[in-house]
Structure 1
Amino acid sequence: MMWNKAREMAQMTPPERNRWVDFLRAISIMAVVFGHWLMAGLYVDDAGALQRGDLIETSQWTHWLTWAFQVMPVFFLVGGYSNSVSWQGTLRKASPGQTGVYRDWLAARVQRLIAPTFPVLLVWAVIAVVLTQLGFPRDQIRMATEAALIPVWFLAVYLLVTACTPLALRAWKRFGWVSFAVYVPLVLGVDYLRFAYGVPYISFTNFLWVFLAIHQLGFAWQEGRFKSPAIAGLWFALGLAVLVSVTVYGFYPVSMVSAPDGFSNSLPPTFALLALGVVQVGLVLALEPLGRRMLDNLRLWTATVLMNGMIMTVFLWHLTAFVLVMTFVWIALGGIGLSSVPGTGEWWATRPLWLAIYILATLPLIGIFARHERTFTPIRGGRTVPRARAVAGVLLICIGLGCTAGITIASPEGITGLRIWVVAAPFVGAALLGFGPIYRPSKAAE
């Protein structure tokens, strides 16, 4: 049924649509999903205790795999392209002198991204409270909620970058490539202050600088600046030269996620991740002509449409499926199949089976929660989303999601075992923007 509906939508696709954009969005999220499923691993040690394994720590050669699986830059490239098309389209449709255009546009963009997040936050809030009342160790509850909800950090950053779209696009129109280049010394300066002088917290600003830079390249793509595969190939080659220089022969680790010494190129981002982003941008845009011809195939394009219709659900719930599978195997089946340490030959031999199990566990979650990607509250008129409320709403959502990934919703103390304010922040922020489960429109708005 879902396939047939996706096929109907695929057949109605206007010829001017760039299908490569949708394909990259789907493939980048799927790379993240399978990367998480491969990297995280639980195993039972010789003493019969459940241990948390990490493939990056046990197998150094897998650090190179992160250059393929850490594809968040591709998602921000696609975001720059899509936000450019959406914002410019909104401006063309706006009436002369119309107020609240940006506020309503931002609220609509935020809603599409955040609406699917509400169910996963609520479900894990209930799980945390119930397990606390049942007397489960709080460190185990924290580990489970942290593992399931850590992907939401990306949403907080993406929202902030999206909110900057009008100013960033204006900078692109006026300054062109300079509007990208300006972020390079910014990122390098932050890394210098972080590593040379140990300046606290400044590293977190690179969440903006790195991904705003890649977002600018999305504007360039949409404007046709990468139309020639040769230009994209040049970006790939230069980016790769820089990346190899700063990792293999330089200061930064090869791994683009966590490294055994605790150094992460992603949390927060570093100049190495920006270089990887340039490599990935060059590669995927050099492949665009071939990819667009490939997507003329109706079956492949239908699969892309189907995946894009549930993309946030898959992203938000895939680690919940992992946690549920591991919990069931450990508690109900006595840890069967968890005897191999991540990175060993036996562990690799069983990966196809485990990946199939994770997929099967994710499918029911998609069936239940994917509808939230298609349920929206109409955002009407600037009066519905006043400026102060819009700013407060976006900030509250970002704070809530950032804290969900950073400190988790599980509390080490208190009766409920829940950081209620962390869970509540995105819901309150959404209500301020004019949508969400707790939003109640005023009579004036009605």
Structure 2
Amino acid sequence: MTFPDHRNAPGPRPLHRAGLRGRLADAAARTDARTPPDRDRALDGLRALALLSVPAGHWLLGGLVLAPDGSLRNASPLSAMPFLAPASWFLQMLGIFFLVGGAASVLSLRRAAGRGVPVSVWLRTRVARLGRPVLAVTAAWAVLLPVLHAAGVPEGTLRTAAVLVVQPLWFVGVYLVLTALTPCCAAAADRLGGWAAAPLLLCVAVVDLLRYGPWAQSVPSWTGLVNLVPGWLFAYQLGVAWGGGRIGRRGGWVLLTGGVALFAVLLVAFGYPASMVGVPGAARTNSHPPSLLVIALAGAQCGAAVLLRDRIGRWLRRPGLWAPVVVLNLSAMTVLCWHQSAMLAVAVPGGLLGTVPGLTAPPDSLGWIAARLCWLPVFAGVLVAAGSRVRRFEAPWTGVPRRIRAAVAALASGFAVYAFVVV
């Protein structure tokens, strides 16, 4: 999502105030003044909220433990403390992410059509925008892995790092597929409104019935993969309908109440796992691929977003709240692609010190949670510092020689092969 630069737009110039707080207030006021008056600030605010939930969820619900051989291995506090599972209901906000993505995509597609831009050109532009940061982070790790190996970092730590780097990138692949389906989603929304998402819910329900019913032993293990597209397309389709003005407050209440009711029934009566993220050693998972419980949560989240849209938009008329939202939206792919690297930049050297509470100690107590909360500002600081350097990869690579682009693509491909073998 781009934010047009209106530096020459007329309007009152803010006073130049002294001190850090004054300079931040001036910057926020300038950002607010440059924002077009018809900008849908609520969509950007919802996207920023969903984006923040990604690193927060990975940093809080995923841990690292020092193995006997000195390597770092993935662990989760949910394994030892299952009572924390409700936290995942609030930290897993992919329903909001796909809702806003669908709304933004259909609006962008219609603006492009109004300018006479072919759908193929529109899609190619969006694919490039999403693909550049992914190529950058995977190429960087293709270089880092052999360097770390030569420096004596255990092979197990390198495998863990590859898994963590890839962990958020599956989202980009799914999002690209959904983006390519935007014209079809728009046509369905024009005809059926929000009800165009109902067949997707039904598809996921049927697949869940097959893989969890009494006949599950005779169902192929790959059956759940059928849910991969319809499971995430559900919220995206709702977003397309919402962006086209086909879902209002009544629809928001239907989604909120229906989603909450379905979520409660599945959890209480049908024994779905409470956690919305994968738990090591668990027999079932809700998110990979998405289950009907994910659809229920997404429906409730989407309904709440629809109902709160106007209020969020009013809140974000305040420059002090709006400026961070702009920064987050402009750095969305950087945050998504690099937040696990930021954590690893702290944890890998920390592993050399032995067992560090909240960092490399087993995540098996409330003490670990308290210690982990203390590490979050450190992870965030590293991400901000690294992001100021790597955010340039989100912009078009104009002026970059073809041989450099080919080298980046080759490195990214090499990392992909390694990650595929490891994962």
Q: Does 1:32 align with 2:49?
A: no
Where does residue 381 of structure 1 map in the other structure? none
Q: Does 1:53 align with 2:75?
A: yes
> Which amino acid is the alignment partner of residue 59 of structure 2?
W
Change over 3 Å in CA distance of 1:162–1:48 after alignment to 2: closer
Change over 3 Å in CA distance of 1:218–1:377 after alignment to 2: farther
Contact preservation (8 Å) 2:66, 2:351: no
- The 3-state SS of whatever aligns with 1:282 is helix
Give me the whole-angstrom Cα distance separating, in 1, the residues matched to 2:167 and 2:24: 29
Aligned ranges for residues 106-117 of structure 1 at < 5 Å?
106-117=123-134
Question: 1:258 offset after TM fit, Å?
Answer: 1.2
Return the match for 2:119 from 102, 118, 123.
102
- TM-score when normalising by structure 1: 0.79
Contact preservation (8 Å) 2:66, 2:354: no
Contact preservation (8 Å) 1:59, 1:343: yes
Return the match for 1:409 from 389, 395, 419.
419
Contact preservation (8 Å) 2:350, 2:360: no
Change over 3 Å in CA distance of 1:243–1:179 after alignment to 2: same
Return the match for 1:222 from 237, 243, 254.
243
Question: 1:281 offset after TM fit, Å?
Answer: 0.4
Aligned ranges for residues 417-428 of structure 1 at < 5 Å?
none
Change over 3 Å in CA distance of 1:212–1:139 after alignment to 2: same
Question: 1:205 offset after TM fit, Å?
Answer: 2.7
Where does residue 187 of structure 2 map in the other structure? 170
Q: Does 1:373 align with 2:390?
A: no
Where does residue 163 of structure 2 map in the other structure? 146
Give me the whole-angstrom Cα distance separating, in 2, the residues matched to 1:252 and 1:50: 30
Question: 1:286 offset after TM fit, Å?
Answer: 1.4
Aligned ranges for residues 1-80 of structure 1 at < 5 Å?
8-44=30-66, 52-80=74-102
Return the match for 1:254 from 274, 279, 291.
274
Return the match for 1:87 from 109, 114, 124.
109
Change over 3 Å in CA distance of 1:339–1:287 after alignment to 2: same
Where does residue 130 of structure 1 map in the other structure? 147
Contact preservation (8 Å) 2:65, 2:361: yes
> Which amino acid is the alignment partner of residue 124 of structure 1?
W
Which blocks of at least 5 consecutive residues in structure 1 are unaligned?
A: 96-100, 379-395, 413-418, 420-446
Give me the whole-angstrom Cα distance separating, in 1, the residues matched to 2:198 and 2:158: 44
Contact preservation (8 Å) 2:71, 2:156: no
Contact preservation (8 Å) 2:334, 2:391: yes
Greater alpha carbon shift after TM alignment, 238-247 vs 123-132: 123-132
Give me the whole-angstrom Cα distance separating, in 1, the residues matched to 2:100 and 2:116: 24
Q: Does 1:159 align with 2:181?
A: no
Partner deviation per Cα, 1:264-309 (whole Å, 9 max, x = no partner): 1111111111111001001122111211110110111111111111
Change over 3 Å in CA distance of 1:3–1:40 after alignment to 2: farther
> Which amino acid is the alignment partner of residue 232 of structure 1?
G
Q: Does 1:305 align with 2:322?
A: no
- TM-score when normalising by structure 2: 0.83
Provide the aligned length of Structure 1 versus Structure 2: 385
Change over 3 Å in CA distance of 1:351–1:234 after alignment to 2: same
Where does residue 297 of structure 2 map in the other structure? 276
Change over 3 Å in CA distance of 1:209–1:6 after alignment to 2: farther
Which blocks of at least 5 consecutive residues in structure 2 are unaligned?
A: 1-22, 400-408
Change over 3 Å in CA distance of 1:138–1:48 after alignment to 2: closer
